Amino acid sequence: MSAANGGVPSEEAKTYFSSVQLLFPEVIDGKINTLQFLESSRGVVGLVEKFGKVFAPVKYDMTGNIEKLTQQYNTNTEKHMYLNNMILSEKEEGGNYAIDALLWLRRALHFVHTFLNCVLEDSQQGTKSEDLVPFLEKAYGETLKAYHGWMAHKLFRLLSRMCPSRCELMSTLALGRVNREEAVLREMAVFLQGLDSNIQVIVKLYLENELDSNSKV
């Protein structure tokens, strides 16, 4: 039985999602636990690192923004127990440190979510495309491209040539073990569902409080 179904997987059955990656926190009354969110986000950084050089810019950007949010959280852990409260508190104080960091972290998480969701849907349809570059380009186009200048676009096109193949990605997510694809996909689906629920809460929070920004880097 897999962790995704409530059991504890054996060492042989473990995948990245059941042995390393923490699930994103359950949204309760529209709020996200800050500490759990940051720990889960750190797991995504580790996951991105395994994808190869193509994801290096995303990794570095995520790491920096997680550290900024952690610093803000530590200034008052009780007051900042929930991500929503931490962001709204900073807005009231006229700050933008954590607000900007979470905005970019959310975009990066959305990029990873879209990419992996493309892989998942492709697998569920039975296509199992080896070339993942189209999925990478779709994810970039839907999440990050609008906020990047031409230099960033050029860097992405260059790095996209180093995108891992489907077999390489599955092997990475299976921790190098064979015949684990079914478990990888099952646990990936659970992970993506939790990640999506967190992303949607952050999107709503920013829209309702006019915190979004279209500025480019």
* Nearest C-alpha neighbor of 61 from the set 11, 112, 114, 21: 112
Is 92 inside a domain boundary?
Answer: yes
| Number of structural domains the chain divides into | 1
Is 111 inside a domain boundary?
Answer: yes
Condensed to tens digits (0 to 9), the pLDDT of residues 164-205 reads 999 999 999 999 999 999 999 999 999 999 999 999 999 999
Give the mean model confidence (pLDDT) for residues 34-45: 96
Is 90 inside a domain boundary?
Answer: yes
Contact predicate 75/157, CB 8 Å: no
Long-range contacts of 115-122 (CB under 8 A, 24+ apart): 115/139, 116/188, 116/192, 117/192, 119/166, 119/169, 119/188, 120/185, 120/188, 120/189, 120/192
pLDDT of residue 149: 83
Looking at residue 60, which CATH number applies to its domain? 1.10.3520.10
Is 18 inside a domain boundary?
Answer: no
pLDDT of residue 201: 98
Give the mean model confidence (pLDDT) for residues 12-41: 93
Is 165 inside a domain boundary?
Answer: yes
pLDDT of residue 3: 43
How far is residue 41's CA from residue 106's CA, in Å, rounded to a whole number?
A: 10
* Nearest C-alpha neighbor of 41 from the set 29, 59, 53: 59
HSE-up of residue 29 (Cα within 13 Å, Cβ side) = 5
Name the residue range of residue 179's domain.
28-207
Using pLDDT thresholds of 50, 70 and 90, give the confidence band for residue 6: very low
* Nearest C-alpha neighbor of 61 from the set 131, 133, 147: 147
How far is residue 139's CA from residue 196's CA, in Å, rounded to a whole number?
A: 14
Tokens of 198: 């967190």
Is 8 inside a domain boundary?
Answer: no
Is 14 inside a domain boundary?
Answer: no
Residue 51: Cβ within 10 Å count: 23
Is 40 inside a domain boundary?
Answer: yes
* Nearest C-alpha neighbor of 185 from the set 18, 52, 39: 18
Least confident of 27-36, 118-127, 208-217: 208-217
Give the mean model confidence (pLDDT) for residues 6-11: 51
Average pLDDT, rounded, for the chain = 91
Between the CA atoms of 140, 145, 102 and 216, what dihedral angle is there, to the nearest 10 degrees? 160
